[in-house]
Amino acid sequence: MLNKQGFNLWADDYDKTVQSSEENDSYPFAGYKTILNIIFNEVMQKQNSKVIDIGFGTGVLTSKLYDNGHQIDGVDFSDKMIDIAKTKMPKANLIEWDITNGLPPEFKEKKYDFIVSTYSLHHLSDEEKIMFLKQLISLLRENGKILIGDIAFENREKLELCQKDNIGHWDNDEFYLVYEEIKSVLIKVCNCDFYPISHCGGVFVLST
Ligand SMILES: C[S@@+](CC[C@H](N)C(=O)[O-])C[C@H]1O[C@@H](n2cnc3c(N)ncnc32)[C@H](O)[C@@H]1O
């Protein structure tokens, strides 16, 4: 699994790696642009919304929202990624923080219209993800939404099929989202919908 140093080393080439995988429609980033566009368009339904991005990376998604007048908070544990994102969003509130420790104290009491996270939550174990999502749900404003775009599958069978097809470069240290499993655990906590976009990616919408 990539740690903070790994992401620091990857930061300068990150956008290029994603582009190549997405253009070849291959695991892991097949559907990346469409997934980010869907989330962008959903946030754009509300003007000047309050948004937090979990694991914003180089700021591909949030910098566009920032340019369109949304107020951006964000957490990421890679200082190199943060440096790149800061050049695009100088006034955003971007905090260096490891989300395996939950949320940073400065964000725990805040409320958001949208909580977005793209290609970051698969770095948490399934158990960590559920605990973290429960924390995030409590930060939503009325009618607020959590929008997650990631490597994700409707069920475990589809994940295993993708794993079989990509056995040579499958990352066994990552924990991809499985809709049926997440939905069954969160059923009493929130509504959970999943929109598959590519053979290995999709968008989750969580709301209360
Ligand atoms: C694959 S990149 C995704 C970046 C961006 N959201 C995108 O869609 O292109 C994953 C990001 O999550 C961050 N990340 C991974 N594990 C993290 C953790 N435990 N705490 C905070 N950030 C983490 C990495 O530093 C990196 O910027």
pLDDT band at 101 (very low <50, low <70, confident <90, very high): very high
Cα–Cα distance for residue pair 161/200, rounded to 1 Å: 10
Residue 1 included in any domain: no
pLDDT more than 70, % of the chain: 100
Residue 132, ligand 1, Cβ within 6 A: no
* Residue 76 alpha carbon, nearest atom of ligand 1: 22
Residue 57 included in any domain: yes
Q: CA 19 → CA 139, 157, 203, distances in Å? A: 32, 27, 19
Residue 59, ligand 1, Cβ within 6 A: no
Residue 10 included in any domain: no
Residue 51, ligand 1, Cβ within 6 A: no
Residue 117 included in any domain: yes
Instruction: Read off the pLDDT of residues 124-144 as tens digits, 9 standing for 90 and up.
Output: 999 999 999 999 999 999 999
Nearest CA to ligand 1 atom 12: 55
* Residue 57 alpha carbon, nearest atom of ligand 1: 27
pLDDT at 20: 92
Q: Provide the 10 A C-beta neighbour count for residue 96.
A: 13
Residue 76 included in any domain: yes
Question: What's the sign of the alpha-carbon dihedral 150, 156, 158, 164?
Answer: positive
Q: Which pair of structure tokens corresponds to residue 10?
A: 């990857």
pLDDT at 150: 98
Residue 12 included in any domain: no
pLDDT at 160: 98
Q: State the total domains in the chain.
A: 1
**pLDDT for 2 beyond 90:** no
pLDDT at 153: 98
Cα–Cα distance for residue pair 113/70, rounded to 1 Å: 10
Following DSSP, what letter does each residue of 181-198 receive, concatenated?
HHHHHHTTT-EEEEEE-S
Instruction: Read off the pLDDT of residues 141-166 as tens digits, 9 standing for 90 and up.
Output: 999 999 999 999 999 999 999 999 99
- Convert 144-181 to b/e letters by CB count within 10 Å (16 or more is b): bbbbbbbbbbeeeebbeebbeeeeeeeeeebbbbbbee
CATH number of the CATH domain containing 180: 3.40.50.150
* Residue 98 alpha carbon, nearest atom of ligand 1: 20
Instruction: Read off the pLDDT of residues 52-76 as tens digits, 9 standing for 90 and up.
Output: 999 999 999 999 999 999 999 999 9
Residue 188 included in any domain: yes
Cα–Cα distance for residue pair 204/3, rounded to 1 Å: 25
Containing structural domain, residue 196: 32-207
Instruction: Read off the pLDDT of residues 28-47 as tens digits, 9 standing for 90 and up.
Output: 999 999 999 999 999 999 99
**Mean pLDDT of the region 179-186:** 97
Report the C-alpha dihedral over residues 71, 74, 80, 81, rounded to 10 degrees.
-80
